[in-house]
Amino acid sequence: MQHSDGGQREVFNTRVGFILAAVGSAVGLGNMWRFPYVAAEGGGAAFVFLYILLTLAIGIPLMLSEFSVGRGARLSPIGALRKLGGGRWSVLGWMYVFTGFLILAYYSVIAGWVVRYALDGIVAGFAPDPAVRFGEVTSGLTPLGFHLGVMATTVFIVSMGVQKGIERAALVLMPTLFGILILLAIWAFTLEGAVNGYAFYLRPDVSELLDPYILSQAAGQAFYSLSLGMGCMLTFSSYLSDDTNLTREAVTISFSDFGVAFVAGLVVFPVIFALGIQGDVSESTMGALFIALPGAFVEMGAAGRVIGILFFIALGVGAVTSAVSLLEVVTASVIDETRINRRKASILGGILIAILGILPAVSLDFLGVMDKLAEAMLALGAFFMAVFVGWVAVGAADEIRKGAPERFHRFVPSLMASIRWVVPPVILFAAVYAFIAVYTEYMSAFGGGG
Ligand code: TRP
């Protein structure tokens, strides 16, 4: 892709490189860890259907909002919002950077557990008592070490730059993840209890959809999974040229992300049901992935060991590419705001986030509260992004048309209508639930003498 404004801002080298980097951001713990359980709990196939609707009605319009601001201004969030909306709006950019800090601090801790589980499998096989092992993996000082390892890897990739770091890593890592996941799904299909697993995952329970809580969960999951609400897609799109068809890329990225989440469910549930351990799962999503699955792998003997290693490698790959995109928001903001170079900016950001991550690394309670807080911040960030693009800054429609062939232009009016009228109320609704969840989580962790 050509650099069209003659400056020296970095650009993605190829279309595929950009798409895989954006899908790398989107696909992460949210897809392979959270989606299957939120879906199963929220009504199975009915939830999946609702989720697709929300991806179309909210996810894609929001992603295009971020793209139009990012490519329009060719700056990271703080500068881009200032350029298109004036000084006041740069505050939203600062909030995005703060949210990036918050998410990456605990996200890299969980990624560290994932790496440790992969190593478990490789070195000695999965531990016979998975609940005990989960306790070991998440307490003491070792999680801190793994968190630092993940952060160091992330800093390394980001410090290498957009083309040589982020794009190159995505071109290698994402096909690896897709390949592993497809293999796992085929293998899971051959398991004896597979049908029961599918039946649990995709049982079409429409009644759940009438529950406003489920709707808020689906909306929250949609923008978390698509990396929206904190300027991540905005930042990536600032490395695009004017001939990129933003609409087509947003659709491709969103459906790839959904595809991975959906297929992850086709892996997770057959494994769990093959062994009849679904009882362990209903307690918590965390328990599901880190206790039930290793438990299943251990019972499946040698095959389970290989499969488990592959599963945790895929999960680790997804987590690292997401971590990269989170650190890129922080790094790009430092570069644009201060003229500190990329290498120093990424190291500085990485060190500060690594320090913030000490809290969730040593305390699961902290991690839980940070996760809920992050979700609430994302909802707020997504809300203001839609308001900004729909009501404040003019020119998003033109930016979206730019680089898109004529036949794409007819979608623009309904896109803009969604950005103005559909996205803000739905997100606000999700935000209210998200903030209540922060409070509940906080009270259960630290309230009442706990
Ligand atoms: N989307 C990632 C996931 O599903 C997490 C993530 C990465 C993210 N970057 C983000 C979430 C930016 C929100 C905003 O795991």
Predicted local distance difference test score (pLDDT) of residue 43: 85
* Whole-angstrom distance, CA of residue 153 vs CA of residue 155: 5
- Tell me what the pLDDT averaged over the chain comes to: 93
Which residues have a Cβ under 8 Å from the Cβ of 255 and sit 6 or more positions away?
55
Taking only the tens place, the pLDDT of each residue in 147-156 is 999 999 999 9
Nearest-CA residue for atom 7 of ligand 1: 322
Taking only the tens place, the pLDDT of each residue in 238-260 is 999 999 999 999 999 999 999 99
pLDDT exceeds cutoff 80 at 121: yes
How far, in Å, are 209, 230, 411 from residue 62 at the CA level? 23, 11, 14
Which residues have a Cβ under 8 Å from the Cβ of 373 and sit 6 or more positions away?
102, 438
Is 247's C-beta closer than 6 angstroms to any atom of ligand 1? no
What number of other Cβ atoms are within 10 A of residue 196's Cβ?
17
Task: Return the axis-axis angle of helices 423-446 and 60-73, rounded to nearest 10°.
Answer: 100
Nearest-CA residue for atom 13 of ligand 1: 227
Q: 239 and 12 in contact (C-beta within 8 Å)? A: yes
Closest-lying ligand 1 atom to the alpha carbon of residue 319: 15
* Whole-angstrom distance, CA of residue 203 vs CA of residue 47: 9
* Whole-angstrom distance, CA of residue 45 vs CA of residue 51: 10
Taking only the tens place, the pLDDT of each residue in 253-295 is 999 999 999 999 999 889 888 876 665 555 455 556 788 888 8
What mean pLDDT is predicted for residues 289-303? 88
Nearest-CA residue for atom 9 of ligand 1: 227
Q: Model confidence at 206, in pLDDT bands (50, 70, 90)?
A: confident
* Whole-angstrom distance, CA of residue 208 vs CA of residue 316: 32
Q: 82 and 97 in contact (C-beta within 8 Å)? A: no
Q: 163 and 13 in contact (C-beta within 8 Å)? A: yes
pLDDT exceeds cutoff 80 at 347: yes
Predicted local distance difference test score (pLDDT) of residue 38: 85
Closest-lying ligand 1 atom to the alpha carbon of residue 223: 13
Which residues have a Cβ under 8 Å from the Cβ of 9 and sit 6 or more positions away?
3, 74, 238, 239
Predicted local distance difference test score (pLDDT) of residue 276: 67
What mean pLDDT is predicted for residues 355-362? 97
Is 233's C-beta closer than 6 angstroms to any atom of ligand 1? no
**Residue 26 alpha carbon to ligand 1 centre in Å:** 5
Predicted local distance difference test score (pLDDT) of residue 285: 56
The H or E element that residue 449 is part of is none
Q: Model confidence at 179, in pLDDT bands (50, 70, 90)?
A: very high
Predicted local distance difference test score (pLDDT) of residue 26: 98
Residue 238 is given by DSSP the state T
Is 225's C-beta closer than 6 angstroms to any atom of ligand 1? yes
Q: 231 and 389 in contact (C-beta within 8 Å)? A: no
Is 108's C-beta closer than 6 angstroms to any atom of ligand 1? no
pLDDT exceeds cutoff 90 at 89: yes
Is 26's C-beta closer than 6 angstroms to any atom of ligand 1? yes
What number of other Cβ atoms are within 10 A of residue 329's Cβ?
30
Is 29's C-beta closer than 6 angstroms to any atom of ligand 1? yes
Angle at Cα 366 formed by Cα 348 and Cα 352, nearest 5°?
A: 5
Predicted local distance difference test score (pLDDT) of residue 39: 87
Predicted local distance difference test score (pLDDT) of residue 284: 54
Q: How many CA atoms lie within 13 A of 142 on its CB side?
A: 12
Is 307's C-beta closer than 6 angstroms to any atom of ligand 1? no
Determine the residue of 37, 38, 102, 322 to mutate for testing ligand 1's pocket, defined as the one with the most ligand atoms within 8 A of the Cβ atom: 322
DSSP for 326-382 reads: HHHHHHHHHHHHH---HHHHHHHHHHHHHHHTHHHHH-HHHHHHHHHHHHHHHHHHH
Residue in 104, 93, 414 with CA at minimum distance from that of residue 234: 93
* Whole-angstrom distance, CA of residue 102 vs CA of residue 380: 14
**Residue 226 alpha carbon to ligand 1 centre in Å:** 6
Q: 394 and 419 in contact (C-beta within 8 Å)? A: no
Is 31's C-beta closer than 6 angstroms to any atom of ligand 1? yes
Q: CA 132, 135, 136, 139: dihedral to nearest 10 degrees?
A: -170
What is the reported pTM? 0.95
Closest-lying ligand 1 atom to the alpha carbon of residue 28: 15
* Whole-angstrom distance, CA of residue 255 vs CA of residue 195: 25
Q: 84 and 69 in contact (C-beta within 8 Å)? A: yes
Q: Give percent above pLDDT 70 in the chain.
A: 95
Q: Give percent above pLDDT 90 in the chain.
A: 79
